[in-house]
Each structure stands twice: as structure tokens, then as C-alpha cells.
Amino acid sequence: MGGSSDTVNDAPTGSTSNSGTDFIREKVKSDMAAGRFGGRVQTRFPPEPNGYPHIGHAKAICLNFAVAAEFGGVCKLRFDDTNPETEDANFVDAIEDDIRWLGFEPSGEVVYASDYFEQLSAWAVDLIEAGLAYVDDQDAETISLNRGSFTEVGTDSPWRDRSAADNLDLFARMRSGEFAEGTRVLRARIDMAHENMQMRDPVLYRIRHAHHYRTGDSWHIYPTYDWAHGQSDAIEGVTHSLCTLEFDTHRQLYDWCLEHLDLPGDKPEQSEFARLNLTHTVTSKRKLRALVDGHLVDGWDDPRMPTLRAMRRRGYPPEAIRGFCSAIGVARVNGTHEIELLESFVRTHHNTNALRRMAVLNPLEVVIDNWPEGQVVELDAINNPEDESAGTRKVPFSGRLFIERDDFMIDPPKKFFRLAPGREVRLRAGFFITCTDYVTDADGEVVQLKCTYDPATQGGQAPDGRKVKATLHWVSAEHAVDASVALYRRLFTDSHPGADGGDPLDSVNPDSRSVLEGCKLEPVLADTPAGEVVQFERLGYFAHDLDQPDLWHRTVGLRDEWANIQKRQAKGANQAKG
């Protein structure tokens, strides 16, 4: 993957759009000004349908769709489906679904590299006829060995000078399925001593007797990435073919192929940008698959995964992912972004939009001794202090409540201002209560608090002006909804998993999830739609599971860890200056 271990931290906090420019947009702008491509802009997102899109793909999706939109162009979704063994129609549907969820609509029909197989093979025949491609009978290992190295030139294949007629005959027979896999390939005939290793007679076609999810059993040869990609771009009329940095050495080959073909229109141009890497995250499909296959997570949509469907389940809004991708920008050098920055976009979004609710994760029973027997009062609670239009809701209050277990201490230290024997606190949207006594079980564990309430404090103020130092969240015991709540920590303990050359999976965090059972939620939460994110007051943002109504996932906590990182960095920079 070639990501450096330096962390890139040049993005502003909280901003959701970046009107700035970058080398790609500058290039598109100058091409348009010069009238190149007839002033047209066309990009594409070219996923291989062999896995689910992740946060790295989100960067490529945002870039391709945004550049097209900003310059009045089009962006197509093209499935780069040239590998029959690993591809699957389920991934096709999932990728389309994820792109739409992220907020983008592919221009026109969705297209497939496999639709171009006939044209690609006709072009291969053209190359053979022009003496620019040949069938090689060497096996893969020999071919690889004979490519040479950065310091040594390659060795010509003994089959390099086959006649065009022989090559045409053999290529046709490869296509019709006559030969076994691995016995022959079609190679471009460029230069085995080329300084760019990619140009040393690269393989264009391999024999595969495999079933393809779209073309069935009609093909026995499949084009390589290098042979399919640029030509697919050209067929569609792509102008700017944006791909990640690891393809920069392929650009020369991309251009070579296009130069030697009789193309319908302009030659597209490839530009490379840095892959997205995130701390505590892997963005290699192969490694993500290993997590799933090794049951280290529950599946591709497990909320700990960096896939878009996992983030959706976790409660990451598409706006936040787009805002993040826009803020980090596009650069030409690989780097790693802090996961806290992504989380800060998620938090900022929910802080503005999420409804406030009360939920008790570790319940401790509170009995209000002076509460009128059987009475229930419907209190008004504010839905979102950041958004007046969100209004208020009713929350039932009764003589038996739950509060958070760690909001009470028998013998509190100096800085603990919450509930303790003899102490008065405010209940959010409710009354002041005073703890008069507590009940313990045989192990000395507190199992119930006895309290009194002050009827004059409804709404949270005492008429005599007396103050309390803490406000607690709570739920009424008889009205509470039971739920399970999943809390998450980093999936990888290492901030740069695998950067030391080891297996990234070695740093998988065995404690990345804890599920709390028997949590108590305020009643309106039972009616919250699947997938909605609310703020559990004082606890963080939580997403209602997409399938299981009694399960919630912690999306992000309340504390702005990104701001803390920035403060630390500013301090470090100042110290370095001083």
C-alpha cells in the first residue's frame, strides 16, 4: 500500500465543504480553458465488484463525482469486472447502493468493462497484426523471472518473434478454450529493456476457464487491468481518469495502449492521487476480508468495519463522510489521516441534527419516598438545544426511576459532584432530588437509593435560588424500554496497523466491542426509526440498529478528541519554535 507513517493534519475542524482547489481541479480547469476534449469533463468510478466499498473508496467516489459536478461534466459508475474468479453480482448491487447512500447518482446507465470484451479482443487482434503483441508460451513464473529488475534489463521471450499469422491463430485458439490455464498469455511487444518495468512486454490476456457472473462461459481469456482500463475509459469518452498513486508507473503503458489503437475519440488522460489511509484502520479489501473470514468481526457491515455499510449501521451520516473527504483534499503524496478527524465530522453533524434523549446504560434504582403513590407526571423536555424547531417531548416521571450507577457514590472524593448520601442534584427536565439512604446487597453492592424530591423544583430551578452542582439523566422505571447498547473502541490498537511490516491483523483489539444488556431507555426511543441517530444525554451519539429494534450502537462519544489533538499539536509546534 505504500502509505507513509506520517500523519497528515492539515484539515480544518468542523468545516463541511472545501471550496479550495487541488492539482486535479487545476488540471481540469486548464484543460477546459485550453479547449481540450472539446471542453468536456468526464470521470468515472471504477470499482471491482469483489468487496464492499470502504472509506478509501469514499474518497475516490467523492473526488470523481464532485469534479464532474463542479465542471458541468458527467461521472459514470463502471464495474471493472475483468476477473471472473472473485466477482459477484451481489457486490454490484451493494456498491451501487452505497454510492447512492453516499449521495451520488451515476450519470446515465451503469457500465461494465465486461461489456467491452469483444472490442478489447478486436483491438488485441489489431495489435497482433501490427506486430505489437505476441502469444507467449512461457509460464507465469518464467515471465516474472525474465522481467529483470530495476537494475537489470529483462530477457526476451523465445516466442517474441512469432509471426503475426501464428500469433493470430494461437490467440484465436486461446479464446476458443483450446489451451489449459497458465499455458499461454498474450503480451504487448514493447521493450524488455525499458526503464519502466511495466513496459517490459506486459501481459494483456490470460487464459481462465472460469464462469463470469455476467458473460457466463463465453470467454476463456480475460484482459488484465492494464489492457482493460484505459480502453474502457476511451470507449466511454472519459476525459480525466483519476486513480490512486500506485498506478503512476502504469501511466506510460496506459498511454502506449491508447496511442497504438484506432480510437473513436480523444485519448483520456490518467492522473494519480494519494490513497486515503486512516489511523487505527485498514483499507485493504484483502485484509478486511480476512477480518470477516476470521470472525474477528461479525461481517462486512459490523459497525467496527471501515466499510460504508458498516458506517451506515454505526450512524455515520453521508454528509459527514463527504465533508471529511472534502476537508482532507487530494494530494500527490500518501499520508495517513487521524480517525478522530472523521469522527469530528460525524459529531458535528449530529450535534446540530440529533434529538436529545435519555438512556441509562448501567441502571441503579431510585425510589422517591415522598412521591404521591401511583402518580405519573409528563414532563416537557427539550429535543435539541441547537435547534429550536425540534421542539419538546413528554417524558414520564414517577416514584421509581433509574439513574446511572456511576452517578452515585457512598463516599465521594472531593471532585465528585453527583449523587451521594445527603446530597441534592437536579434530574434533567425534572426535579431536584436528595439522597436520604441507600440499600446494599449481601456483597455490599448498592442496589437501591432512597431519595426525596422537592415539588417546587419542577423544570429544574429552585424558587429559593439554591444551586446544585450536577444534573443527571434518568428514566422512569415502569415506563422504561429495555435495550442492548454496543460500545466500541478502536478495532486496531496500533495507530498504523501493519506499518512496521507485520500483519495488521496482529493488532486487532480483542476488546473493541462491549455490549451492555438491560439498558433502560426513555419510552419515545421505542418509536425511533431504524438507523436514526440520537444523543443519549451525557453519553454520546447512538444509532438505532437497522434490523434489531432493541439494539443501539454508539456512533461517537461527546468529547471532541480532534480538538484535543489539534491543541496538543499546536503546543508541540510552539515548543519547537520556542
Q: Which is nearer to ligand ATP, 318 or 399 (CB)?
A: 318
- Cell, residue 331: 494530494
Least gap, CB of 273 to ligand ATP (angstroms): 7
Contacts made by residues 219-223, CB under 8 angstroms, sequence distance 24+: 219/84, 219/117, 219/175, 220/174, 220/175, 220/176, 220/177, 221/121, 221/174, 221/175, 221/186, 222/82, 222/83, 222/84, 223/82, 223/113, 223/117, 223/120, 223/121, 223/124
Least gap, CB of 116 to ligand ATP (angstroms): 17
- Cell, residue 351: 450535534
Piece in contact with ligand ATP (CB under 6 A), picked from 8-16, 56-64, 303-311, 380-388: 56-64
Considering the candidates 175, 184, 285, 356, report the single residue annotated as catalytic. 285
Considering the candidates 48, 70, 96, 319, report the single residue annotated as catalytic. 48
Contact letters for ligand ATP, residues 282-301 (x by CB under 6 A): -x-x----------------
Q: What are phi and psi of 129, to 5 degrees?
A: -60, -30
Least gap, CB of 247 to ligand ATP (angstroms): 7
Selected from 47, 84, 318, 430, the binder of ligand ATP by CB under 6 A is 47
Least gap, CB of 287 to ligand ATP (angstroms): 10
In single-letter form, the type of residue at position 234 comes to: A
DSSP string, 38-98: GG--EEEE---SSS--BHHHHHHHHHHHHHHHHTT-EEEEEE----TTT--HHHHHHHHHH
Q: For the packed helices 561-577 and 339-353, what is the interaxial angle rounded to 10 degrees?
A: 130
Kindly state whether residue 56 participates in binding ligand ATP, applying the rule CB under 6 A. yes
Per DSSP, 511 falls in state: T
Size of the site for ligand ATP (CB under 6 A): 14
Kindly state whether residue 66 participates in binding ligand ATP, applying the rule CB under 6 A. no
In single-letter form, the type of residue at position 166 comes to: D
Round to whole Å and give the CA distance between 489 and 288: 17
Quick check: 324 and 342 in contact, CB under 8 A? yes
Kindly state whether residue 59 participates in binding ligand ATP, applying the rule CB under 6 A. yes
Piece in contact with ligand ATP (CB under 6 A), picked from 53-61, 191-199, 437-445, 567-575: 53-61
Quick check: 433 and 425 in contact, CB under 8 A? yes
Concerning whether 467 is annotated as a catalytic residue, the answer is: no
Round to whole Å and give the CA distance between 3 and 302: 25
Residues of span 241-280 touching ligand ATP by CB under 6 A: 243-244, 275-276
Concerning whether 285 is annotated as a catalytic residue, the answer is: yes
Q: Which is nearer to ligand ATP, 22 or 156 (CB)?
A: 22
Considering the candidates 275, 314, 347, 423, report the single residue annotated as catalytic. 275
Look-up of cell digits 415539588: 455
Kindly state whether residue 306 participates in binding ligand ATP, applying the rule CB under 6 A. no
Least gap, CB of 6 to ligand ATP (angstroms): 16
Selected from 46, 73, 329, 335, the binder of ligand ATP by CB under 6 A is 46
CB-facing half-sphere around the CA of 57: CA atoms within 13 A: 23
Kindly state whether residue 307 participates in binding ligand ATP, applying the rule CB under 6 A. no
Kindly state whether residue 329 participates in binding ligand ATP, applying the rule CB under 6 A. no
Kindly state whether residue 498 participates in binding ligand ATP, applying the rule CB under 6 A. no
Q: In the β-sheet with 446-454, what is the strand arrangement from edge to edge? A: 471-472, 424-427, 432-440, 446-454, 363-368, 400-404, 474-476
Kindly state whether residue 16 participates in binding ligand ATP, applying the rule CB under 6 A. no
Q: Which is nearer to ligand ATP, 243 or 321 (CB)?
A: 243
Concerning whether 48 is annotated as a catalytic residue, the answer is: yes
Catalytic residues: 48, 275, 285
Binding residues vs ligand ATP (CB under 6 A): 46-48, 50, 56-57, 59-60, 243-244, 275-276, 283, 285
